[in-house]
């Protein structure tokens, strides 16, 4: 393989080899008085490297200079906006008029802008069209995770869960390279505590190494095998397919996504653990759950925790305060739909992601009303027995997996992909 | 986990589905799979001339024109075919050729080698589809260990889909099965295609047909790595074993504009296996074509339909002469 073929591996190599070595030296070997500054610069530098490498594979050699210029421009905008947010956060501690709201909302608004508005904003879009790209958002590496991470930080600072970070601690947290692109959306308190002092009971070296190995196996090996049966590897290979292939691709994609996503998170948690930095868990055997509520407590845990704490719970409380108590169950149902509508939109632009999110919401709402009905019908003891019944639990687990896998059809495929799959299944 | 690592061995022990199924499982982005599968597995007629190579060849040669020319030249119906898919890879070419030669005996093979601007993608991007454990293993035996391990990894990757082929076959659509190989009517990097049909005379065969030592050839660019060399040698040996003469053909890419030589990556010892190099340097091939029109003959590195017609017309006499020398003369 020559340089260009190796290019897609560089971000992985950088994130999981070069960066950890450099971070270890900075965090554990350098004097304390310059540690955080250098760690922050290392993470910001890491962001620059990832911005440069992010879209490089598809760029022709003669576009290397304009591409680099565009990548570094967006990188600069990204960092400047993060620094501005920091100063707004500081301001929000002193001036509690509009600044707490600005600090809370600005990352969300920036996220919405990068997802939905940026194409129409010419000064930025003008940088990418000449290099053959259509959307500059790819340079804002991990913006979905960054924005949620910062909102969580704002909340924790406002509620005095953590003390105000200095600019170096803030930048280190915001752009912490291992969690930059796919999370987990780990809280600042846990991060900074373990940066300052290693607690090897929480991040044992052996377990961290094992996590890396397990994650690597899931991400590279198992994920690649399962991808052969998923949509891109099977149904969208450009050939016609029998209907059985749809029933293969649906569960295969769910398993592939689990191996891909959780495997990457395992590596992230493992690498961070080697550095002594504690990152929250993101997956806990999600396919062993019996319903969609339990599922979302064990799938992408950091996101579901964020949505629960910052959207669902406040929204439900606010609604409950305004309506008669007899409508309380409906308030919960409405909040579930809103929360997962937002989850869908967070995952990507396009109606297919909205459908994905709404399917989660509909599943949760259905479960919510089903549970209410079941409790009324069976009584407390009957419901407890129902919960303990093994055949029911196994059946529910299978149905739950099937439902989530089906919803991923819209997560994995945009309308053009769905049209291509339809064409393939029609035998054309 | 060990079961997964042994998947290729398990698949081999169970017995692989047909070679046709291996190709039918390749991505549609691989190129005209249907045409290649039809030629190898369904068309019983052996080619008078078999073109072998990459997408540069597939885009560059006008098959109907070549067939008409050969028919007129020989005074009998002839059959010209192409085995060529996307992405560089003499491993791919070897496997296509070997499968073709199981049931066919072409009279002549004309082969295009990777050009200096090409990147060595080893193994081929779709190797995990067409290489299966235990098949043609003697052809892989001479590879360095790193490549054999790499290929085993490819076979692991391809095994799940291969095992799925036992459950249900890989399908090709009617249009895929019936597709013909022709150069696309596409403009340069997405520009509008403007059909051109200039009356350009064929070039002197002194320009376009070069027996050894090929004065117009300049060996340049990155040398073949050991993987590429291995499969290039395997192709040469396979043709020799079957008693089929071999010649090379050059297709000028867009980057060769104005050049009076034909740059090739293949080293001379390899080129000496062929009876001739057919082709024209870009300056000769596009003689009479103005600067403003040059790129209208290309879609990117590849010749488009304009370029294919122009180039084939110019080198056809050399193809016929090469056929005469290699096939008729030997007879």
* Gap between the Cα atoms of B190 and B32, Å rounded: 20
- Whether the per-residue pLDDT at A1 is higher than 50: the answer is no
CA distance B139 to chain A (A): 21
A255 touches chain B (CB under 8 A): no
Query: Which strand ranges, in their side-by-side order, compose the sheet holding B277-278?
Result: B80-84, B49-53, B108-111, B246-249, B277-278, B209-210
A427/B164 CB distance under 8 A: no
* pLDDT at residue A105, rounded to an integer: 95
How is B163-190 classified by DSSP, letter by letter? HHHHHS-----HHHHH---------GGG
- Whether the per-residue pLDDT at B267 is higher than 90: the answer is no
The set of residues, in sequence order, having a beta carbon less than 8 Å from that of A85 and lying 6+ positions away, is A103, A106, A107, A150
Q: How confident is the model at residue A356 (pLDDT cuts 50, 70, 90)?
A: very high
Q: Which residues of A touch B28 (CB under 8 A)?
A: 237-239
B167/A244 CB distance under 8 A: yes
Cα A120 from chain centre: 25
Buried b (16+ CB within 10 A) or exposed e, B223-238: ebeebbbbbbbbbbeb
Instruction: For residues A385-394, give the mean pLDDT.
Output: 96
* Comparison of pLDDT for A149 and B290, the residue scoring more: A149
DSSP 3-state assignment of B264? strand
* Gap between the Cα atoms of A173 and A180, Å rounded: 9
Burial of B328 (0-12, 13-18, 19+ CB in 10 A): exposed
Q: Which residue of A has its CA nearest to B29?
A: A238
* Gap between the Cα atoms of A260 and A258, Å rounded: 5
CB pairs under 8 A between A and B: 56
Of the candidate ranges A176-180, B218-222, B229-233, B277-281, the one whose mean pLDDT is the lowest: B218-222
Q: Which of A2, A225, A427 sits opposite B120 (nearest CB)?
A: A2
Chain segment A48-77, per-residue pLDDT in tens: 988 888 766 666 677 778 888 888 888 998
* pLDDT at residue A223, rounded to an integer: 95
CA distance B5 to chain A (A): 10
Assembly ipTM = 0.85
Of the candidate ranges A6-10, A282-286, A289-293, the one whose mean pLDDT is the lowest: A6-10
B158 touches chain A (CB under 8 A): yes
Contact A180, A16 (CB under 8 A): no
Interface test with A, best of B23, B116, B118, B171 (most A CBs within 10 A): B171
* Gap between the Cα atoms of A49 and A256, Å rounded: 28
Average pLDDT of chain A is 91
Instruction: For residues B278-293, give the mean pLDDT.
Output: 91
* pLDDT at residue A2, rounded to an integer: 47
* pLDDT at residue B208, rounded to an integer: 81
* pLDDT at residue A164, rounded to an integer: 95
Phi, psi of B50 (to 5 degrees): -110, 115
Q: Which of A255, A258, A286, A281 shows the shortest CA–CA distance to A270?
A: A281
Q: What are the C-alpha distances in Å from B72 to residues A123, A212, B75?
A: 61, 67, 5
Instruction: For residues B142-160, give the mean pLDDT.
Output: 93
Chain segment B116-149, per-residue pLDDT in tens: 877 667 899 899 999 999 999 899 988 999 999 9
B171/A241 CB distance under 8 A: yes
B142 touches chain A (CB under 8 A): no
* pLDDT at residue B87, rounded to an integer: 82
Chain segment A256-268, per-residue pLDDT in tens: 999 999 999 999 9
The set of residues, in sequence order, having a beta carbon less than 8 Å from that of A279 and lying 6+ positions away, is A178, A179, A184, A186, A190, A191, A268, A269, A272, A273
Q: Which of A299, A53, A280 shows the shortest CA–CA distance to A179?
A: A280
A60 touches chain B (CB under 8 A): no
CA distance B148 to chain A (A): 15
A1/B120 CB distance under 8 A: yes
Helices (H) and strands (E) in chain A, counts: 21, 0
Q: How far apart are the first and last CA of chain A?
A: 36
B121 touches chain A (CB under 8 A): yes
* pLDDT at residue A119, rounded to an integer: 64
* pLDDT at residue B116, rounded to an integer: 83
Chain segment B198-254, per-residue pLDDT in tens: 777 788 777 788 777 778 888 888 888 899 999 999 999 999 999 999 999 999 999
The torsion of the CA quartet B53, B54, B60, B64, rounded to 10 degrees, works out to 60
- Whether the per-residue pLDDT at A427 is higher than 90: the answer is no
Query: What's the number of CA atoms in the CB half-sphere (13 Å) around residue B13?
Result: 5
* pLDDT at residue A269, rounded to an integer: 96
* pLDDT at residue B216, rounded to an integer: 86
Q: Which residue of B has its CA nearest to A238?
A: B28
B4 touches chain A (CB under 8 A): yes
* pLDDT at residue A9, rounded to an integer: 72
* pLDDT at residue B213, rounded to an integer: 74
B164/A229 CB distance under 8 A: yes
A244 touches chain B (CB under 8 A): yes
Q: Which residues of B touch A229 (CB under 8 A)?
A: 160-161, 164
- Whether the per-residue pLDDT at B177 is higher than 90: the answer is no
Instruction: For residues A32-36, give the mean pLDDT.
Output: 92
Chain segment B27-73, per-residue pLDDT in tens: 988 889 999 999 999 999 999 999 999 999 999 999 999 999 999 99
CA distance A347 to chain B (A): 28
**Interior CA angle at A36 toward A267 and A20, to 5°?**
25
Q: How confident is the model at residue B115 (pLDDT cuts 50, 70, 90)?
A: confident
């Amino acid at each position: 393989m020559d340089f260009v073929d190796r290019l897609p591996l560089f971000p992985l190599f950088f994130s999981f080899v070069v960066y950890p070595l450099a971070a270890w030296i900075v965090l554990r070997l350098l004097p304390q008085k310059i540690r955080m500054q250098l760690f922050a610069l290392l993470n910001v530098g890491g962001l620059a490297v990832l911005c440069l490498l992010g879209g490089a594979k598809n760029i022709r050699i003669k576009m290397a200079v304009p591409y680099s210029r565009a990548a570094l421009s967006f990188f600069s905008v990204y960092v400047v906006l993060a620094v501005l947010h920091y100063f707004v956060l500081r301001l929000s501690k002193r001036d509690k008029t509009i600044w707490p709201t600005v600090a809370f909302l600005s990352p969300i608004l920036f996220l919405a802008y990068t997802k939905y508005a940026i194409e129409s904003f010419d000064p930025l879009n003008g940088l990418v069209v000449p290099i053959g790209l259509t959307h500059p958002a790819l340079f804002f590496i991990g913006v979905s995770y960054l924005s949620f991470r910062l909102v969580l930080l704002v909340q924790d600072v406002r509620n005095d869960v953590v003390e105000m970070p200095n600019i170096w601690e803030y930048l280190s947290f915001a752009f912490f390279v291992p969690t930059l692109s796919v999370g987990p959306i780990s809280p600042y308190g846990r991060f900074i505590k373990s940066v300052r002092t290693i607690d090897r009971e929480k991040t044992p070296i052996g377990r961290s190494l094992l996590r890396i190995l397990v994650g690597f196996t899931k991400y590279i090996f198992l994920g690649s095998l399962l991808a052969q049966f998923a949509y891109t590897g099977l149904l969208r290979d450009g050939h016609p397919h029998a209907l059985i292939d749809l029933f293969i691709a649906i569960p295969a994609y769910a398993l592939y996504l689990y191996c891909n996503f959780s495997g990457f998170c395992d590596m992230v948690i493992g690498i961070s653990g080697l550095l002594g930095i504690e990152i929250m868990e993101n997956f806990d055997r999600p396919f062993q759950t019996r319903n969609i509520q339990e599922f979302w407590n064990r799938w992408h845990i950091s996101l579901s925790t964020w949505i629960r704490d910052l959207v669902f719970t406040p929204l439900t409380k606010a609604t409950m305060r305004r309506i008669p108590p007899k409508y309380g169950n409906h308030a919960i149902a409405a909040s579930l739909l809103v929360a997962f509508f937002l989850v869908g939109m967070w995952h990507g632009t396009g109606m297919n992601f909205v459908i994905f999110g709404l399917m989660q919401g509909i599943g949760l709402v259905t479960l919510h009303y089903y549970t209410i009905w079941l409790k009324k019908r069976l009584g407390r003891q009957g419901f407890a027995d129902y919960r303990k019944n093994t055949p029911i639990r196994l059946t529910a687990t299978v149905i739950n997996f099937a439902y989530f896998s089906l919803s991923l059809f819209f997560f994995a495929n945009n309308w053009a992909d769905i049209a291509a799959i339809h064409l393939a299944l029609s035998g054309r | 986990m060990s079961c997964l690592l042994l998947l290729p061995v398990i698949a081999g022990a169970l017995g692989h589905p047909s070679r046709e199924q291996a190709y039918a499982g390749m991505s549609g982005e691989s190129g005209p799979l249907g045409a290649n599968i039809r030629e190898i597995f369904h068309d019983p007629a052996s080619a008078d001339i078999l073109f072998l190579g990459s997408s540069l060849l597939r885009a560059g040669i006008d098959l109907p024109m070549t067939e008409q020319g050969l028919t007129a030249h020989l005074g009998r119906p002839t059959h010209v075919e192409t085995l060529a898919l996307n992405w560089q890879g003499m491993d791919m070419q070897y496997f296509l050729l070997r499968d073709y030669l199981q049931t066919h005996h072409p009279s002549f093979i004309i082969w295009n080698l990777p050009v200096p601007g090409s990147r060595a993608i080893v193994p081929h991007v779709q190797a995990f589809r067409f290489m299966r454990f235990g098949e043609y293993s003697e052809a892989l035996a001479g590879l360095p260990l790193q490549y054999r391990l790499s290929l085993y990894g490819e076979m692991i990757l391809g095994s799940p889909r291969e095992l799925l082929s036992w459950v249900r076959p890989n399908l090709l659509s009617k249009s895929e099965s019936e597709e013909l190989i022709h150069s696309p009517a596409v403009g340069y990097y997405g520009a509008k295609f403007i059909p051109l049909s200039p009356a350009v005379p064929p070039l002197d065969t002194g320009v376009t047909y070069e027996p050894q030592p090929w004065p117009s050839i300049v060996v340049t660019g990155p040398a073949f790595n050991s993987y590429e060399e291995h499969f290039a040698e395997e192709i040469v040996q396979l043709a020799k074993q079957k008693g089929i003469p071999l010649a090379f053909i050059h297709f000028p890419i867009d980057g060769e504009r104005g050049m009076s030589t034909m740059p090739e990556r293949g080293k001379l010892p390899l080129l000496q296996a062929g009876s001739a190099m057919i082709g024209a340097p870009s300056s000769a091939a596009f003689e009479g074509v103005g600067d403003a029109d040059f790129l209208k003959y290309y879609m990117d590195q590849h010749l488009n339909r304009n370029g294919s017609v122009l180039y084939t017309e110019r080198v056809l006499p050399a193809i016929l002469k090469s056929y005469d020398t290699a096939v008729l003369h030997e007879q």
